[in-house]
Amino acid sequence: MHHGRWMGRFEEPEQGARPGTFRRVVAFFRPYWREIAVVLVAILVTSGLGLINPYLLKLIIDTAIPRRDLTLLNLFVGLMIVVPIVAGLIGVGQTYVSNLVGQRVMRDLRNALYAHLQRMPLRFFTTTRTGEIQSRLANDVGGIQQVVTSTAAGIVSNIATAGSTIALMVAIDLRLTALSLALSPIFLFATRRVGALRREISTATQRSLADLTAITQETLSVSGVLLTKTFGRQQEATARFAAENERLARLEIRQQMIGRWFFMIINVFFSITPGLVYWVAGRAIIGGDTGLTIGSIVAFTTLQSRLFFPLGQLLNVYVDVQGALALFDRIFEYLDLTPEITDRPGALALDPDRVQGRVEYDHVSFRYPAGASGAGAGPQPDGAEEPPLALSDISFTIEPGQLVALVGPSGAGKTTITYLLQRLYDVTAGAVRIDGHDVRDVTLESLGRVIGFVTQETYLFHATVRENLLYGKPDATQAEIEAAARAAAIHDRIMELPEGYDTVVGERGYKLSGGEKQRLALARVILKDPRILILDEATSALDTHSERLIQAALEPLMRGRTTIAIAHRLSTVLAADLILVIDRGRIVERGTHGELLARGGLYASLYHAQLARGDTLRTRDDAIVLDEGVPAAG
């Protein structure tokens, strides 16, 4: 897979083990080597204890009973009772420690995957389905849980049990041991073939499960359900889900049935082998072989039954491990993706209390990577050698406390300009600076602290009003929260909610109106108190009352802060210290409102085009839309 490109669905990995998969899995266990050592010792002890009872059985039959020695009989029987109890207690402790290790490894794996995804650039998430990401975190990691928590210890236990048992069987009779293990090489070879097929089907099954998760996430979210209902597409959505669900069911059946005939044959062989042993040993004793006794045969067949279970388990485990390795491959496929935007060594952490807020764009050019898309740039076709520039030679400076308005047609690159300041993408050429520091030399965390971002599409968590506000400042007091809410003109509305600040807003804040969500987002930014503010104040979809409340909240928020506003309202443009007119990724005009009108260029044409409509101006003078050429709904 090419790590520089992401898609909604990943390309199929090459069949067979990815290089180093097993070694990388072992690396997750390395921090817990002490616990693993305890498990190994416990396994060896229980394996050794498991040999005692078959040998005691031989002694009872061949020694205690023929001698009619009750003391020996009581001793041997007593030991046969005590040994399993001791082994069982050790086994319980071993199970606890092995599960403890396994669950901690699962925790570390989930944490590593989630943390790595947090470091991925924005374009990864714009080109990958959310359901696909969720599936890898939940389904793929969950699918390996059984292997991680118990299979590793089971493998060691079964190997130790099989090895010690075979050793004692050889000590009793080599011929009978050879008979018992005669077909094992054939079984091992066949198991490898079955395991390879299980791995292949496991990969296909997880892909289907990811598709089903993506469909569920897309169609059963609030937005998805609203879309299917308003377009009357419930039947189509149900049919699409049913088709993928049917495919998943078929794959699951294939996965469960792989090798079942093979393992049935193995079980039959294991079941009939004791009969063959009795037949061979009986013929030998009847023929006068003094090397075998009745006790030896009983002990041998007891050991034999003890051997076949771990051997059968090992064959099954190999197949299961191959399936789990397919899931590890998918997890490591994500972990191998290289975050493009990271902190440089020795990166500077900006102090929010000392940042003045001087922003400089110095001959900035930018192109979206091939296969990526973003605001102001459509998806690039696969195979395109080099996408066109989304921004070209952008230069301007904002002094601390100034307001710069970005206006221009839709897709001109306005949002892309703001993305570069936050390092959601890195410039292709030139530099973006804050207080003279190139943002590429500043830590991402400190950038997030000094920059506030408000957009039309407000995102709220499925949590309480208070928890959503605290996202802006986790240690804020209730007084600070209420002050921010009052500044955003939302406090009174919050107090009208059933539980006030403890009211759960619903997924993406769907319990609130658009204006209420926007004001809540403003309160969150006010609470954060950033030195630099980026506004995409797209309020055209809001009602007049909500819009006026938000405009009133924006004015004190912008005061004294360095602000970049993607301007949709004339009131913001009139207040701007500098207006930049963006068209096709270039600054085509710059100046104040009066200067740009006098110039008679693109800005003036946008202004007069809306002025000529006149319909919105009759109701309020700030309803002129300078973006996308569409008047506001009033």
Average pLDDT over residues 99-103: 83
Q: Which of 258-267, 308-317, 528-537 has the highest mean pLDDT?
A: 528-537
Chain Cα centroid distance, residue 292 = 61
Percent of the chain exceeding pLDDT 90 equals: 7
pTM over 0.75: no
Side chain identity at residue 138, one-letter code: A
Enumerate the β-bridge partners of residue 293.
Answer: none
- Residue 156: the pLDDT is 74
Confidence of residue 312 (pLDDT cuts 50, 70, 90): low
Q: What angle, rounded to 10 degrees, do the helices at 52-59 and 152-172 form? A: 30
Q: What is the pLDDT of residues 399-410, one digit of tens each?
A: 998 889 898 888
Question: How confident is the prediction for the chain on average, in pLDDT?
Answer: 76
The gap between the terminal CA atoms of the chain, to the nearest Å, is 50
Per the model's pLDDT, the better-predicted residue between 121 and 442 turns out to be: 442
What is the predicted pLDDT for the residue at 361? 94
Question: Cα–Cα distance between 195 and 202 in angstroms, integer?
Answer: 10
Highest averaged pLDDT of the listed ranges 213-222, 257-266, 528-537: 528-537
Instruction: Print the SS3 string covering 448-482.
Output: HHHEEEECCCCCCCCCEHHHHHHCCCCCCCHHHHH
Segment 170-197, tens digit of pLDDT: 887 787 778 777 766 666 666 666 666 7
DSSP 503: -
* 155 backbone dihedrals φ, ψ, rounded to 5°: -60, -50
The listed range with the strongest mean pLDDT (382-396, 425-439, 537-551) is 425-439
- With 70 as the cut, is the pLDDT of residue 368 above it? yes
Cα–Cα dist 565/70, whole Å: 97
Higher-confidence residue of 632 and 380: namely 380
> Per-residue pLDDT tens for 116-174?
888 887 777 777 776 777 777 777 777 677 677 666 667 777 777 778 778 888 887 78
The per-residue b/e assignment along 390-412, b for 16 or more CB within 10 angstroms, e otherwise, is bbbebebebeebbbbbbbbbebb
Domain topology for 21-211+258-335: ABC transporter transmembrane region fold (1.20.1560)
Q: Which two tokens stand for residue 481?
A: 């929260």
Which segments of 184-233 does DSSP mark as H helices, in order?
184-220, 222-230
pLDDT tens by residue, 475-506: 888 898 888 888 888 888 888 888 888 888 87
Residue 215 to residue 8: CA distance in whole angstroms: 12
pLDDT at 417: 92
User: What is the distance between the alpha carbons of residues 426 and 406, in angstroms, rounded to a whole number?
Assistant: 20
Cβ(504)–Cβ(464) under 8 Å? yes
- Whether domain 347-378+387-459+531-634 has CATH 3.40.50.300: yes
pLDDT tens digits along 41-90? 888 888 888 888 888 888 888 888 888 888 888 898 899 899 989 988 99
- The amino acid that residue 631 corresponds to is P
Confidence of residue 1 (pLDDT cuts 50, 70, 90): very low
DSSP SS3 for 421? helix
363 falls in which pLDDT band (50, 70, 90)? very high
> Quick count: other Cβ atoms within 10 Å of Cβ 357?
21
pLDDT confidence bin for 6, thresholds 50/70/90:
very low
> Mean pLDDT across the stretch 577-582?
90
Q: Which residue has the tokens 């939302």?
A: 490
Pairing of strands 403-407, 429-434: unpaired
CA–CA–CA angle 621, 622, 625 (5° rounding): 120
Quote the CA–CA distance of 69 and 67 in Å, as a whole number. Answer: 5
Per residue, the 3-state secondary structure of 270-281, as one string, reads: HHHHHHHHHHHH
Overall average pLDDT of the 100-122 stretch: 83
Domain ranges of the chain: 21-211+258-335, 347-378+387-459+531-634
Q: 225-256 as b/e, with b when 16 or more CB fall inside 10 Å? A: eeebeeeeeeeebeeeeeebeebbeebeeebe
Q: How far apart are CA 289 and CA 294, in angstroms?
A: 12
H or E, element range at 392: strand 391-398
Q: What is the 3-class SS of 511-572, one letter each residue? A: CCCHHHHHHHHHHHHHHHCCCEEEECCCCCCCCHHHHHHHHHHHHHHHCCCEEEEECCCHHH
